[in-house]
A = this chain, B = another copy of it.
Amino acid sequence: MKSARRNLLLRRALYRILDPQRSGRTPEAFRLAHHGMVVLGVGALVLATVPNISADYRAALDAVFYVALAFFAAEYLCRLYVVPEAPWSHQGRRWRDRLHWSMTLQGLVGLCSTWVVGIAAAFSPDAASVRLACVTWLFKFVPYSEGLSLLGRVIADARSTLVSVLLAFIIVLLSAGTLAYLVERDVQPETFGSVPTALWWAVVTLTTTGYGDAVPVTLAGRLLGGCVMICGIALFALWAGILANGFAEELKRRDLQRTWDLVTKVPLFNAVGAETISEVTRLLRPRDVPEGAVVVRRGEPGDCMYFVVSGEIEIRIPPKPVRLGAGAFFGEIALITGEPRTATVVASRSSVMLVLHVTDFRHLAARRPELMAAIAEESSRRVAHNNAADDPSG
């Protein structure tokens, strides 16, 4: 029983360390080591293929590579051990869950890029080539990057449309290749001697890459080339547009979700109704401010006000700076009066803020007067308080 409990504690600790979103010193240290290992390991792999470098530093590069390999092999075992990663897993289902995880894409890549490569490299005559499979370590960044996860989701969502565009691409490609073969084969039998070689020209032209290794020289071929370029730009506009639109939409969605979570932490917005919050959320934008960063600089024109969600900021007004913590807001005076900023504001701790731009402030003031009244009241209360605190020193 005791060992089971020890196991559970160990698994929980490991789970926390391996969780990509977890903050704290140990997880962050692990992430640093992990990312460093990926960079060093892949760097060693790449440099080992350069003859000069490989000749001079073979031992060092091999050492770096094998350290990284050992690190990731151990990481694979740890991840397998803590699966299912959520700590509320039932005892009895653990092995089944582990088997299931090891069959997922992440599990398979993890296994292949560590144990399989290690063993294969040991027995293969051309170990260097086998080891190049470890360039897949780069994909270990994916779970740590929100943008890449979003990208994956966008591609999955727009799958059917992307396939349609790809189909159009293939139709144009084959048609162009066949036509180019017909018009150019007699003049350039080397580069247009069969449809597959003509296809290489077509793909290079359709993507407007244009290496120049295959170029039409007949009039018909050049007219065809011009059409292919124009079609290519049209097709890739669709391709690019679908991905860019989908990505922009997902980004907006994610930002909205994050903003909403932050908005509910500002007491000022708790009093107003859900519909106002829904509207405010669309106007605010979150900003992470590191410790010591200058948020607002005295004398600059003011075009935003700020709500402090977490952390602490310091308004540098004489005689003594004022500190505001989570839930406070500042910068509204410049928006109302149109004057430059009267004080510099610095983040005294790493903070998260919500930014309201002056155009949105005005829009909100027109649509939600009750919210603006609350801001104005709190603002004048603070000015009065500051003046009172100021008096003895003034």
Which residues of A come within 8 Å of B, CB atoms? 42, 45-47, 49-51, 84-86, 88-90, 129, 132, 135-136, 138-139, 141, 145-148, 150-151, 157, 160-161, 163-165, 167-171, 174-175, 177-178, 181-182, 193-196, 199-200, 203-205, 207-213, 215, 219, 222, 225-226, 229-230, 232-234, 236-245, 247-248, 251, 253, 256-257, 260, 273-275, 277-278, 281, 285, 298-299, 303, 318, 340, 357-359, 362-363, 365-367, 369
Contacts and interface: CB of A to CB of B under 8 A. Distances in A.
Nearest to A221: B200
Contacts of A219: 196
B168 A148 contact: yes
Copy number of this protein in the oligomer? Answer: 4
A226 B203 contact: yes
Contact of A209 (B50, B205, B340, B366): B205
23 contacts: A50-B195, A129-B182, A135-B174, A138-B175, A147-B160, A151-B238, A203-B222, A210-B210, A211-B211, A213-B215, A236-B237, A237-B240, A238-B243, A238-B244, A240-B241, A241-B248, A242-B248, A244-B245, A245-B248, A253-B359, A257-B303, A273-B366, A281-B362
A169 B151 CA distance: 12
A165 B193 contact: no
Given A167-B147, A229-B209, A241 B244 contact: yes
Given A170-B138, A211-B212, A248-B245, A366 B274 contact: yes
A240 B230 contact: no
B194 A366 contact: no
A84 to B, nearest CB: 6
A70 to B, nearest CB: 21
A233 B244 CA distance: 11
B244 A49 contact: no
B138 A164 contact: no
Contacts of A363: 278
A195 B46 contact: yes
Ranked 4 nearest A-B pairs via Cβ = A147-B164, A241-B244, A86-B299, A237-B240
A274 B365 contact: yes
Interface SS of A by simple majority: helix
Given A237-B239, A237-B243, A245-B241, A164 B145 contact: yes
B215 A138 contact: no
A233 to B, nearest CB: 5
Contact of A366 (B160, B212, B277): B277
Contacts of A245: 241, 244, 248
A358 B258 CA distance: 11
Contacts of A135: 174-175, 178
A51 B182 contact: no
B167 A148 contact: yes
A237 B230 contact: no
B257 A358 contact: yes
Given A45-B178, A148-B164, A260-B362, 18 more contacts: A49-B194, A86-B299, A89-B299, A136-B175, A139-B171, A146-B164, A151-B164, A151-B165, A203-B222, A205-B209, A207-B226, A230-B239, A233-B240, A240-B240, A253-B359, A257-B357, A274-B369, A278-B367
Given A147-B164, A209-B209, A253-B359, A240 B244 contact: yes
Contacts of A367: 275, 278
